[in-house]
Amino acid sequence: MENTKKEIYEKLQTSLIAELKKFKDDLKDIDSSLNELEQKIENNKKYD
């Protein structure tokens, strides 16, 4: 039982870290998309 519980906790721990990292990466992607869009809008303004 102790071992099963340990496994559950270990899996939860690993999953939690993975989720935090994934969320961090997703946020970075969104930030880059926003920067690109901002740049695109600025460029369009210049050409207009």
Partner 1 sequence: MIEKYSQNNQINPDNEIKIDSNERGESSDFLFEQTEKIFEKIESLENKTDLTKEDKEAIKTIKNKFYKISRRFLKITGGMTLLGLIASSENYYKTKYETTAEKDSKGNTVYKHSDTETTHILNYFSGRETLTEEEITYNIRLLAKNSAKVFDIELPPDFDNFNLEQIDSFFASVPKTKLKKGDMINFVDDYVDREIKPAEDIYELIWQLEKECNNPKIKFVVNPPSFLTDNLTINYSSLKNAIYIDILAQGGGPDDLIAELAHSKQFRGSLFKRIIKDLRYTKDLIKVFLRGGFNTERLNEEYSKLYAEKGTIEYEAHSEIAPELKEKYEKLTKSIKEGKHKTGKNEWKDN
Contacts with partner 1, residue ranges (CB under 8 A): 5-6, 8-10, 12-13, 15-17, 19-24, 26-28, 30-31, 33-34, 37-38, 40-41, 44-45, 48
Q: CB of 12: closest distance to partner 1 in angstroms?
A: 5
Unique residue bearing structure tokens 């071992």: 3
Q: Report residue 16 as tokens.
A: 């939690």
Q: CB of 45: closest distance to partner 1 in angstroms?
A: 7
Measuring CA to CA, how many Å separate 31 from each of 37, 44, 45? 10, 20, 21
Q: CB of 6: closest distance to partner 1 in angstroms?
A: 6
With H, G, I as helix, E, B as strand and everything else as coil, classify residue 24. Answer: helix
